Amino acid sequence: MATRTAIKVSARERLLEAADELFYQQGVQTVGIDRVIEHAGVAKASLYNTFGSKEGLVCAYLEQRFERARSRIIRTLTRFRTPREQILGVFDALGEAFTDPGYNGCAFVRASAETAEDSAIRRTAEHYRSWVRELFTELATTCGYAEPEELARQLLLLYDGAGQAARMDRDPSAATTARGAAAALLDAAPIVG
Amino acid sequence: MATRTAIKVSARERLLEAADELFYQQGVQTVGIDRVIEHAGVAKASLYNTFGSKEGLVCAYLEQRFERARSRIIRTLTRFRTPREQILGVFDALGEAFTDPGYNGCAFVRASAETAEDSAIRRTAEHYRSWVRELFTELATTCGYAEPEELARQLLLLYDGAGQAARMDRDPSAATTARGAAAALLDAAPIVG
DNA sequence: CGCGAATCAGACAGACCTGTCTAGTATGGA
DNA sequence: TCCATACTAGACAGGTCTGTCTGATTCGCG
């Protein structure tokens, strides 16, 4: 092996892990650089050499979250065959995430809420958001619904709302509630032809 | 008149107005005390005499928001007669709020996202949230639905999700989308007896 | 061995934060 | 006229923040 990565974890990886824990639990504004490097056991210079700035670290943290969320959802989708089951499966994946005792809401929504209008952080959050929307749109199109975009928008409302409720009410069953509502919307939506 | 309030606006009112603009647009963590008092044209001592701390000011700002949101919703409800129309009317009131060019998401959600777990700010946000949920529950009960609590939870998901979408996608039509989804849920939900 | 890259430890600058305190000013009512 | 109340202006303390910089140390690799 080239650089014994199995034994010694790189500063980059330790920083990302610490950022994930601290930023997600306590918020990207509340947590300072010093807390992150202390938790990671890494020198401050390493952080600035690797990520350039705090904003760079926050974006890397969000991108890592995005990759994980995406692979979790895609993995769930493979368990179902029909697009209708797959749409509802997205809410199952959400429910899985909610059962994590450390669940603290959608990382992208929260980071965006803490950040100014035109930042790179906002753009990263929007990237995730449009991915979910397009996923719903594709699945709804495959189902043969007459207005897949509008249906996808409705499903996204449930998706967002479930994350909100799970956090603010500390109630993981919000995913089940959202799943039930989604099923009702799918039943009610007009099919093409 | 006792203290000529018509001519000179009190420090308290000016502070609340400045807090509303700055905290809502830019976030309660981002905006510092100095910016608030400068924008209000008020001495720092007046802030601490009136509200005790920054947290006190933030809570007062949120309570003012709560009162305004509540009266806006109640005003909208009086325009409709049946409880079903009133449920959908809540989403009309939401749409009104979204058309404000300064709309920047649900103030309670955002303040909560920026704040630690056990703060008075969180409690104020939860207060608002439970009010909305109870309103939906009462209206759903009056409609005669078999499971008004579950239906109210579903409607709250749409309510939350609409605020989220309106902010992140800068799309006021999220209220219309949510209204349409709510109508579908009302049509699909079982009636008692 | 010796080089170079990665990393560590921590001082430092400069800005901003909340909250306290002193001192001065305006004004309405007794 | 005098006093209480409400307010203004701003210095100050003590802390935290981001980001830079210096110098030492580790370690894989030729």
pLDDT tens per residue, range A137-191: 999 999 999 999 999 999 999 999 999 999 999 999 999 999 999 999 999 999 9
What is the structure's pLDDT at A193?
Answer: 75
Q: What is the mean pLDDT of residues A4-23?
A: 81
Indicate if the pLDDT at residue A84 is higher than 70: yes
Q: What is the pLDDT of residue B175?
A: 98
- pTM to 2 decimals? 0.92
Record the tokens describing residue A69, joined without a space.
């969320």
> Which chain B residues have a beta carbon less than 8 Å from that of A174?
153, 157
Quote the longest CA-to-CA distance of chain A: 63
Query: Helix crossing, B120-143 with B54-77: angle to 10°?
Result: 10
Average pLDDT in the B156-185 region?
97
Using CA atoms, how far apart are residues B184 and A187, in angstroms rounded to an integer?
9
Residue that the structure tokens 């920083």 belong to: A15
- CA dist., res. B109 & res. B69, Å (int): 14
- Looking at residue A147, its amino acid is E
One-letter amino acid identity for A55? Answer: E
Mean pLDDT of A25-34: 94
Taking residues A29-33, report their average pLDDT: 94
CATH dotted code for B62-188 = 1.10.357.10
Residue range B10-52 in CATH 1.10.10.60: yes
Minimum distance, in Å, between the CA of residue A102 and any CA atom of chain B:
12
pLDDT at A8: 65
What is chain A's Cα-based Rg?
A: 19
Residues from chain A that touch B127, judged by Cβ atoms under 8 A, are none
Selection from A61, A166, A169, A30 nearest residue B116 by Cα: A30
Which pLDDT belongs to residue B8? 66
How confident is the prediction for chain B on average, in pLDDT?
94
Contact B154 A181 (CB under 8 A): yes
**Which of A94, A127, A160 should we substitute to test contact with B (largest number of B Cβ atoms within 10 Å)?**
A160
Domain boundaries, chain A: 10-52, 62-188
pLDDT for the residue numbered A128: 97
Which nucleotide is at minimal CA–C1' distance from A2?
Answer: D28
Phi, then psi, of B191 in degrees rounded to 5: -90, 150
What pLDDT is recorded for position B116? 84
Identify which of A26, A160, A69, A28 has the alpha carbon closest to the alpha carbon of residue B171: A160
Tell me the pLDDT of chain A averaged across its residues: 93
